[in-house]
Amino acid sequence: MYERVLQWSRHRHAERYLAALSVAESSFFPVPVDVMLAPMVLATRDRWVRLATIATLYSVLGGLIGYAIGYGLFDSIEPWLRESHYWEAYETSRAWFDDYGVWVVFVAGFSPIPYKVFTIAAGVAVLNLPGFFIASLIGRAGRFFLVAGLVKAGGQAFEDGLQKHVERIGWAVAVIAALVIAWFMMRGQ
């Protein structure tokens, strides 16, 4: 699948594929958007803002679809989810929603944690929809603009290292975001 997504990134309809992948990845598809976004930015560096915007907007749309799946269809997908390797992440996300609410969506949108798990769990938890939308928009934009900007600035060398280091980068950013959120929450008490 990863290799197929790389092929799509160089197709004449690549922007459409990027939009479709962004929707799918946020609700059910296992390949992260970054693997298509990075080579597209590398091929057309002057369009990095446009490509990051497409990835962001369609990813948030996919997040809303994931929310709807969790809200209205969870009973139908629960058996599959229990059998998949996502069940533990789903249970963790539900516990985090109870403790931290919408902040979890922001962190999940930016991190390498499977965003789709959190969108579905947010629907099951009936998380505040406007808050979910805003947190998704900020988290996803942060991730995709960072990736696109770094690829634009770093060129081929960065793209080569991205696949190898994207998970570590994502976790580092997630930890930093969690610390910032915790700091704001403690100051508010």
CA angle 183, 104, 149 (to 5 degrees): 85
Q: State the pLDDT at residue 144.
A: 93
Neighbours of 54 (CB within 10 A): 21
Residue 111 CA to residue 114 CA, distance in Å, equals 8
**CA atoms lying within 13 Å on the CB side of residue 80:** 8
Give the torsion sign (CA, 106, 65, 87, 54).
negative
Q: State the pLDDT at residue 4.
A: 64
pLDDT, tens digit, 9 for 90 and up, residues 36-53: 898 888 888 889 999 999
Is the distance from CB of 7 to CB of 96 less than 8 angstroms? no
Q: Which two tokens stand for residue 108?
A: 């999940």
Q: State the pLDDT at residue 108.
A: 83
Q: State the pLDDT at residue 186.
A: 67
Q: Give the global pTM.
A: 0.77
Question: Reduced to 3 DSSP states, what percent helix, strand and coil does the chain have, rounded to the nearest 5?
Answer: 85, 0, 15
Q: Using 50 as the pLDDT threshold, list the residues of the chain that sit under it.
A: none
* Residue that the structure tokens 């979910």 belong to: 132
Q: How many residues in total does the chain contain?
A: 189
Q: State the pLDDT at residue 170.
A: 61
Q: Which two tokens stand for residue 73?
A: 């269809």
Q: State the pLDDT at residue 3.
A: 64
Residue 40 CA to residue 51 CA, distance in Å, equals 8
